[in-house]
Amino acid sequence: MRVRRPGNVSLRGNPNPTSREWNKCWKRCLPALCAAYNSICAYSACWIPAPAKGTVDHFWPKTIRPDLAYEWKNYRLASEKLNSYKGESTDVADPMGIQPGWFTLDFHSFYVVPGNNLVPQVQELVETSISTLRLNSDDSLVNQRFEIVRDYAKGHVSLRFLERRYPFIAAELRRQGLTQAIKRAFT
């Protein structure tokens, strides 16, 4: 109501707004989006700590689907950096449709890599997503994964903590049977 109605009224008056003309009332839903996502970025599956707020990502860009600009179903919580990297791309996997095993974590390099035995179309989607979102080419993202795993391995954080704040990493530790073995790798 605080987003859809004023946004759609604005669109009726200006159906093809320029980047400056958009009614940015979707920002009003950010607290609810943070709550719905537990402050976890939809694209990195990493916690977005305060005061750094997440951003409202329009999965279908406003310029391509203005009819979805003010629709909750089109919103994804994203870190500011990943939202910027995604930009207007439509070639990124929708976090709401990702299946287990599409993305995996290589615990030697801390790179996100495509899972095994993916059909070619999914393989390409995963590779494009990794590239577009710079999941491996942005050293700060790779270092973040390394540091949280190191903190876990050294006993500074628990697996339960990882499950709440870094669910992808926790899921990969479990899937790969490394919840205990990773601790030995850091001694």
Q: Whose CA is closest to 43, among 30, 57, 23, 29? A: 57
For the stretch 74-130, pLDDT in tens is 999 999 999 999 999 999 999 999 999 999 999 999 999 999 999 999 999 999 999
Residue 162 dihedral angles phi and psi, to the nearest 5°: -60, -40
C-beta contacts of 72-75 below 8 A and 24+ residues apart: 72/3, 72/4, 72/29, 75/26, 75/29, 75/33
pTM: 0.89
For the stretch 95-105, pLDDT in tens is 999 999 999 99
Q: Whose CA is closest to 102, among 132, 128, 122? A: 122
C-alpha radius of gyration, the chain, whole number:
18
Using the predicted structure, report yes or no on whether residue 16 has a pLDDT greater than 80.
no
What is the maximum alpha-carbon separation in the chain?
63
Mean pLDDT, residues 156-175 taken together: 98
What does the pLDDT read at residue 87?
A: 95
Sign, CA dihedral 37-43-49-54, equals negative
Query: Which residue blocks in the chain are alpha helix, DSSP H?
Result: 4-13, 30-36, 80-86, 120-132, 139-153, 159-165, 167-175, 181-185
What does the pLDDT read at residue 66?
A: 87
For the stretch 28-41, pLDDT in tens is 788 889 999 999 99
Mean pLDDT, residues 135-140 taken together: 98
- Give percent of the chain above pLDDT 70: 86
CB 139 within 8 A of CB 75: no
Q: What is the 3-state secondary structure (H, E, C) of 117-128?
A: CCCHHHHHHHHH
